[in-house]
Amino acid sequence: MELTRTFHALKEWATAVNALEAGKTIMLLRKGGIHERNGHFQVAHKQILLYPTYEHQQSFMLKAEYANDVYPVTSGWHPETIRIGSWAEITDILPVSDESIVNALLPFHIWNEHFISDRLKWKPRQPLYILLLRTYKLHQEQQIAYYAKYGGCKSWIDLDQAIDLQGAEPVLSDFAYTQLVETIRGIVGDKLYAPSL
């Protein structure tokens, strides 16, 4: 059954959300927020709204072409309204611990080597999760009110209101998305696939 509305959202740096919406990447790298259940990253929902965040963005962890997109904010700052312009289907979840594999994926995402090294060193016994997202631009972007319960170091939130997904258009064609996924899977290797949701 085709999803027509949802209130489930994944929080991610605004710079990354912009890159997903522009078709510049299909990849996110996650290890989980501080408040993740059991301290591990888990994919709560396969189809999610993309919720941009600002507080933890750090330009020195981004490739040069994305670093200037970071709007510096003070700790604890949040906008009064949040722009929701897209939703995505997480098509692949690839846990990777091998730094050489993660480095080989560098051309496919927005972060730099410093970010990768930092992520791999944090909770070193846990893999870095490569998420591949098929992103869809909403027919009409929504401005939603910010609530304190949306804040904090957690990846997944449920919005107070469901967002209509009907009429959303994929950012990349089926062919372009499939080609990228196959290339990335080839780098990661079949043996590392996580069970699908």
C-alpha to C-alpha distances, 170 to 2, 18, 20, 173, 192, nearest whole angstrom: 14, 14, 11, 7, 27
d(CA 154, CA 63): 24
| Average pLDDT in the chain | 87
Q: Count CB atoms within 10 A of the CB of residue 158.
A: 14
d(CA 64, CA 89): 28
**Is pLDDT larger for residue 125 or for residue 166?**
166
Residues 162 and 5 sit within 8 Å (Cβ to Cβ)? yes
Q: Give the CA diameter of the chain.
A: 44
Identify the weakest region by mean pLDDT among 21-30, 113-122, 129-138. 113-122
**Is pLDDT larger for residue 122 or for residue 87?**
87
Residues 51 and 160 sit within 8 Å (Cβ to Cβ)? no
Type of residue found at 51 = Y
C-alpha to C-alpha distances, 38 to 16, 33, 35, 90, nearest whole angstrom: 26, 11, 8, 22
Predicted local confidence at residue 155, as pLDDT: 86
> What is the residue whose two structure tokens read 């319960």?
149
Residues 11 and 5 sit within 8 Å (Cβ to Cβ)? no
Type of residue found at 45 = H
* pLDDT single digits (tens) 13-50: 999 999 999 999 999 998 855 444 555 577 888 999 99
Predicted local confidence at residue 91, as pLDDT: 95
Identify the weakest region by mean pLDDT among 43-52, 143-152, 175-184, 187-196. 187-196
Q: Count CB atoms within 10 A of the CB of residue 113.
A: 13
d(CA 19, CA 137): 12
C-alpha to C-alpha distances, 128 to 33, 116, 151, 188, nearest whole angstrom: 12, 9, 23, 12
Predicted local confidence at residue 197, as pLDDT: 45
Identify the weakest region by mean pLDDT among 109-113, 120-124, 133-137, 151-155. 120-124
**Is pLDDT larger for residue 145 or for residue 57?**
145
d(CA 130, CA 102): 9
